[in-house]
Structure 1
Amino acid sequence: MNTDKYRVKPDEKIMLTTFSTSENDEYSQEELQKKMIPEAVQKLQELHLKLNAEEEKGILVVLQAMDAAGKDEAISYIFSNLNAQGLKTLTLGKPTEQELSHDYLWRIHDGLPARGEIAILNRSHYEEVIAPRVHEILKGEPLPDELIDEKIWETRFRQINDFERYLSENGFPVVKFFFNVSKEEQRKRLLKRMKDPQKNWEFSFSDVEEREHWDDYQKIFEDMLGNTSTECAPWYVLPADNEEYSRYIITIVMNELLTELNPQFPVISDEEREKLDEYIKKLEAEGGEKQGDAGQ
């Protein structure tokens, strides 16, 4: 798979209509479910285990989209298979009063990875250059008036790029996935949630209300993607109408990034090896096993 096809080039002015919402010319649904995704996830598990053991670098994963585009399902079907000790997830909603009393990047800090971790932001700091633009709510926030001018979004794009570069240069590369769902597919998924009693809890009335601003959101997404996809923190635009294929793309991109990082299991010293062999013999003696039998 050529993942560059889905990657937004730095400073590229894009139109989301040029990206397919349902592309999959390579594999059947059965191939994706039974072969391609399981094999890719297995490789991701192996690479993540090395990342976690090495404890040198961490990865920040950003998932951004309209409602019902598939973010939660991507977490469930891909990332939930990873070692829980090296995984963390933060889901962001409407800012709280406490969060609004700080700078807009403050609230994501608890969701950032430690060394050896993959951290997932289900919605993210990008909310602060999306919803406030659609609903023009900045003036209702406790910001100094002089900060709210016609250049505020340009300023925030620069600040976000600087922040993500800072993370990358400190050993925490950032990778970002935008779920490009069509309006019609979103309509079907929302109806499914609304009609199924077991899925009603996933539905919010605001999901339907936000559809009234669909065109505004698309323009803002294009601006966001074009201004914040960088070499150190790229955006990938997923054909989100096809959930299986989107999950496969995510897994392949993650595997490419981890392969580039090349994490390795730590190698113990000669002194530690001697002590390890000593303790193996001690435990084998306790259990009465012959030397080398334990674990067979």
Structure 2
Amino acid sequence: MNLHKYKVSSQIKLTDFSTKEVIDDAKKKLKKCRKKISELQDTMYAEGKYGVLICLQGMDTSGKDSLIREVFKDVNARGVQVHSFKVPTELELKHDFMWRHYIALPPKGKIGVFNRTHYENVLVTRVHPEYIFGENIPAVTSLEDLDDAFYQNRMERINDFENHLTKNGTVVLKFFLNLSKDEQKNRLLRRLNIQEKNWKFSKADLKERRLWNKYQFCYEDLLNRTSKENAPWFIIPADDKDSARIILAKILLEELEKCNFKEPALEPEILLQIDDFKAELNKE
């Protein structure tokens, strides 16, 4: 599998990326891959030098929740932290736009998954700029203040934030689940046609779908401006869920292997006494 083709390493157009790729035996391959991810997380925890932040973005119905469940189901439950960011709370709005994301970061030794991320601050708020008023920013008094320069400045602050994280031991990997408009329609209809799936449907899904082109523009812009070598974006074809999961898992595994995590060595005096410790326990 050529994983490099998914990485945003130069200026891109979203229309050049396929939304569907079918991997043979995707479920079987995922089982093997997630076991290796689990083993790496165990070693990473023992070493205690690195944390991992995985950022997931995608249009409604792109499969973020199920992907998290399937990719990380073999990882120690205490080794993965998932945060799903919703509309900012009153407390969160009293801080800068990055505050709630900073306090949710994974500690060293653990994998943190952001289901929707700090990029909502240059995505949803760019599609719906009126949301910014809730932040009570002194320099923002009208919609005219929320121009392209405003959002580009925010993206630069996000780049600074991620650069700070990577310099302090957090591996940052960002994944855009690239869903087609036709497949989103099919998934929304499935929610309406299958009674036990009805609860997943919201009228807001249709409202946001009408803004599809604007969202695609904003995604393309943020992918181009914020994919850096130390915090890259990967564009994952999302129309086939099983294939999307194994592609993401393979990329994650490859990136973690680059870190060369190592279990810490025992202190010399303990190492010399291992046989004595065994003998003491065996005498019980």
TM (norm. structure 2) is 0.93
| Amino acid of the structure 2 residue aligned with 1:187 | K
Q: Which residue of 2 aligns with 1:144?
A: 138
Q: Determine if the alignment matches structure 1 residue 15 to structure 2 residue 13.
A: yes
Q: Is the 8 A contact 1:111 1:120 kept in 2?
A: no
**Structure 2: how far apart are the matches of 1:244 and 1:205?**
27
Q: Is the 8 A contact 2:35 2:75 kept in 1?
A: no
The alpha carbon displacement at 1:33 in A equals 1.5
The alpha carbon displacement at 1:67 in A equals 0.8
Candidates 166, 185, 188, aligned match of 2:186? 188
Please identify, of 142-151 and 63-72, the stretch whose mean Cα deviation from structure 2 is larger. Answer: 142-151
Secondary structure at the aligned position of 1:199 is classed as helix
**Structure 1: how far apart are the matches of 2:250 and 2:54?**
14
Candidates 122, 134, 139, aligned match of 2:115? 122
Q: Is the 8 A contact 1:61 1:119 kept in 2?
A: yes
Q: Which residue of 2 aligns with 1:289?
A: none
The alpha carbon displacement at 1:261 in A equals 0.3
| Amino acid of the structure 1 residue aligned with 2:139 | D
**Structure 1: how far apart are the matches of 2:186 and 2:104?**
31
Trace 1:1-296 onto structure 2 (pairs within 5 A): 1-10=1-10, 12=11, 14-24=12-22, 27-28=23-24, 31-34=25-28, 36-137=29-130, 138-146=132-140, 148-150=145-147, 151-286=149-284
Secondary structure at the aligned position of 2:283 is classed as helix
**Structure 2: how far apart are the matches of 1:140 and 1:226?**
27
Check 1:187–1:177 CA distance in 2 against 1; reply closer, same or farther (3 A cut): same
CA displacement 1:7-47 (0-9 Å, x = unmatched): 1115x1x22111000023xx32xx1122x211211221111
| Amino acid of the structure 2 residue aligned with 1:116 | G
Q: Is the 8 A contact 2:19 2:239 kept in 1?
A: yes
**Structure 2: how far apart are the matches of 1:124 and 1:117?**
18
Q: Which one has the largest radius of gyration? A: 1
CA displacement 1:30-71 (0-9 Å, x = unmatched): x1122x211211221111111111111111100001111011
The alpha carbon displacement at 1:146 in A equals 4.8
**Structure 1: how far apart are the matches of 2:268 and 2:139?**
63
Secondary structure at the aligned position of 1:111 is classed as coil
The alpha carbon displacement at 1:149 in A equals 4.5
Q: Is the 8 A contact 2:133 2:140 kept in 1?
A: no
| Amino acid of the structure 1 residue aligned with 2:239 | D
RMSD over aligned Cα atoms:
1.6
The alpha carbon displacement at 1:274 in A equals 4.2
| Amino acid of the structure 2 residue aligned with 1:6 | Y
The alpha carbon displacement at 1:196 in A equals 2.5
CA displacement 1:214-270 (0-9 Å, x = unmatched): 111011110111100000110000110011111111111111111110101221123
The alpha carbon displacement at 1:200 in A equals 2.8
Q: Is the 8 A contact 2:79 2:109 kept in 1?
A: yes
**Corresponding residue pairs, total:** 279
Stretches of structure 2 that go unaligned for 5 or more consecutive residues are: none
